[in-house]
A and B are shown apart, each in its own frame.
Chain A
């Protein structure tokens, strides 16, 4: 099975408190901690498990600048065989469709049976996998939490409302977006990262991919982020302050009043 996993370098929501910059229109990015999108680790782990059973190879791809290379190396340290970085000034400001256009071009340079993405990333749209599949005319399943490989077809479970699982049969090649919890991604240590530090990662621009620069990036984007803002909390929570004993005293009074104690 030849597998392509699409990954993304994102600000780590567990490691950052997000602040706006002085102009108030973008995140203050100076001290942001970045990591690989959480969902993507599950996708790479699933690919490794499939290849361990059936043979084949795994390529990880991302769209980004030079710094995005670090997430490719991390996923290669996990067990992906190859990495590809799609990078070009013309790609900056791409919307979901632009990213899917670039990934489609990369897919067409290979011979992949299975293409995996994370179910969503930092922007919370969950859009690229479904768009890529539609562009390629491949079948697609989102929020996949189970894969049973087979010949020419695979069975996939999708996470649906209420903790239920929707089972589908899907023809290969296909695109799947992977939900967290499908597996337990393996730990990557410093030694693993060192082992792949010297591996060359090809970088492809618009020309290499045969993509019209006007169809991607800011120029091709129909959906554009204008700015970031922090909404007025409005009727947010009543914040209890003071030392811990005082807080607990106030909280207990409220819990009693609400019948909770």
Chain B
């Protein structure tokens, strides 16, 4: 029988949303598989999280150690390597923690590795069939993964259907004694909070958000003018911040701000999942992009194939004439 172990991150006593998404992923891997949640940490927060997970999982393994109080990927990896059987399938979220943990974990468990999986098509013997994306989401690929000696898989957060939390009444298994040596060559120091900018994009109902299609820093004015006409503010995707054209506090995405506008105008934005991950509350998304194959058109409500540098001033003028 396929054994699946799902690593559940948590923060301030609250489990990551992925905790409810693993059961769907596990079912798509193998409907007959056993699914065990694994949590690591220290103290009351860990105990509470482990107990809460028994509503969703029939078995919850917890590993309690002072060294695990902050999730340092190197230390978590050591603990997991001692507790998870070598032939298991291990699920981890494809986020900034999962990317830190999972590749090295696959080496230490001598398992196959597949990253940022968006769907599974079941097992064919010991071969796991899955789907992932390449080239920034422009193309998808069918992938086979030989899981005979285990596999570590990161799944894309938000892609699997969340389970009903109250389904199970599982038990907590304390494996703290098996964690082994938890010394590390990397030491966590502190979290430096993001700087607050002069404009708070999280408070606006209308966002005119620009991406690479803006082409030049001087063109940002066009987006600002359109935002002014619409009574909104200018936000952006990652490349604009990397180029230092706008401050980090304007960036929408998993590594930037989470926004909940009513209207999201995606101007020249390709629509990577990291960017879309920062848009919540189901806004009306208008995408304008000169590339008809831009992935943003798969998630937008309305799509327009135009060059934003021509389109934005015309739209602004038409709105001002209303």
Contact = CB atoms under 8 A, between A and B. Distances in A.
Interface of A: 11, 13-14, 17-18, 20, 27, 95-97, 100, 119, 122-131, 133-135, 138-143, 155, 157-171, 174, 180-181, 184, 222-231, 233-234, 236-241, 244-245, 247-249, 251-252, 254-255, 258-261
Q: Is the interface of B mostly helix, strand, loop or mixed?
A: mixed
The 10 closest A-B pairs by CB, nearest first: A130-B103, A237-B303, A163-B194, A134-B104, A222-B112, A260-B263, A125-B115, A134-B107, A139-B185, A181-B242
B145 A223 contact: yes
B89 to A, nearest CB: 13
Interface of B: 72-74, 77, 95-97, 99-108, 112-116, 132-136, 138-146, 151, 184-194, 205-206, 212, 230, 238-239, 241-244, 248-249, 251, 254-258, 262-263, 270, 284-287, 291-293, 296-306, 310-311, 314-315, 318-319, 322
A13 to B, nearest CB: 5
Contacts of B310: 244
A258 B315 CA distance: 17
B140 A228 contact: yes
B74 A139 contact: yes
A258 B192 contact: no
Contacts of A138: 185
A247 B306 contact: yes
A27 B189 contact: no
Contacts of B151: 222
A146 B315 CA distance: 40
Nearest to B272: A124
B103 A129 contact: yes
B322 A261 contact: yes
Task: Kindly name the residue among A14, A160, A184, A225 whose own CB sees the greatest number of chain B CB atoms within 10 A.
Answer: A160
B112 A237 contact: no
A164 B194 contact: yes
A130 B109 CA distance: 13
Contact of B297 (A139, A158, A233, A251): A233
Contacts of B304: 239-240, 247, 251
B146 A222 contact: yes
Given A170-B185, A171-B185, 11 more contacts: A97-B106, A131-B107, A166-B188, A168-B187, A180-B239, A223-B114, A227-B142, A229-B141, A238-B303, A252-B315, A261-B230
A158 to B, nearest CB: 7
A224 B186 contact: no
B255 A230 contact: no
A13 B133 CA distance: 13
Contacts of A140: 73-74, 100, 104, 186
Task: Kindly name the residue among B115, B185, B238, B304 whose own CB sees the greatest number of chain A CB atoms within 10 A.
Answer: B185
A124 B106 contact: no
Given A97-B113, A126-B103, A236-B303, A255 B263 contact: yes
A223 B141 contact: no
Contact of A155 (B107, B189, B296): B189
B139 A229 contact: yes
Given A134-B104, A181-B241, A228-B139, A252 B319 contact: yes
